[in-house]
Amino acid sequence: MRNMEFNEGYRVFNDITRAEKRSNRLVVLSLTFMLFSFLCCTYIIYEVNESAKNNFYLLDSGQKLATVRVKDYKRAIDILCEGHVGIFHELFFGLEPDLGFIKRNIEGKALYMVDRSGMRLYNRLVDQDYYEDIAKSGYSIELEKDSIIIDYSSYPFRFRFIGKQKIERDGETEYRNLVTTGYLMETKSTPNNLNGLKIVRFDVLDNRDLRK
């Protein structure tokens, strides 16, 4: 009788022990799974952040075209700065005989990329009826870029744009030299200025007609 009671008690004890072991294994597995999930999430977040750091947008007339992955930070800065300077000049100096087109490009896009020095130049040309004359004459101006030189040795970055304006007028083609300078400063990225850069102290150094 005592043996039966002992055996029964032993089986109950074993059942409790096995239940505790199963519970412990479940806790260990749960903790292991949570740790694994945490590590996976951390790795994914890290990879996304690294990818975002190395992604840069190619822009056309201020509109996002494609995302380019660039691992070389210096090359990424080159692309960003040269693109900003190049697009600003295309918007500001590439003109068509259409006042609506001119205002959309300059007032709606280019002036967000430059400080008040660009606004002063624009207002001066407006006062001189420069854009009115282009619209009335029916000729178009296409910008041709020769080079963009940027000095990264000091901040803000000084640049020089060298190019030409190709002027189509009455079936004839004329050229006008275009050399400008200014500085690039970092600013907050906005829907109107995706690059997060701004041209300051902008100045036109040379805009003379070229001999045929």
Tokens, residue 134:
């282009």
Amino acid at 208: R
Quote the pTM value.
Answer: 0.69
- For 106-153, write each residue's pLDDT tens digit: 999 999 999 999 999 999 999 999 999 999 988 899 999 999 999 999
34 to 3, 21, 43, 114: CA distances (angstroms): 46, 20, 14, 51
pLDDT digits (tens, 9 = 90+) for 140-166: 999 999 999 999 999 999 999 999 999
**CA 27 – CA 64 distance, rounded (Å):** 50
Report whether 97 contacts 140 (CB < 8 A).
yes
Helix (H, G, I), strand (E, B) or coil at 205: strand
- Give percent of the chain with pLDDT exceeding 70: 70
CA distance 172 to 65: 34
Please enumerate in sequence order all residues whose Cβ is within 8 A of that of 55, keeping only pairs 6 or more positions apart, or say none: 67, 68, 69, 70
The number of CA neighbours under 13 Å toward the Cβ of 83 is 22
Tokens matching residue 165: 């304006």
How long is the chain?
212
Q: Which residues contact 95 (CB under 8 A, 6 or more apart)?
A: 101, 102, 131, 134, 140, 141
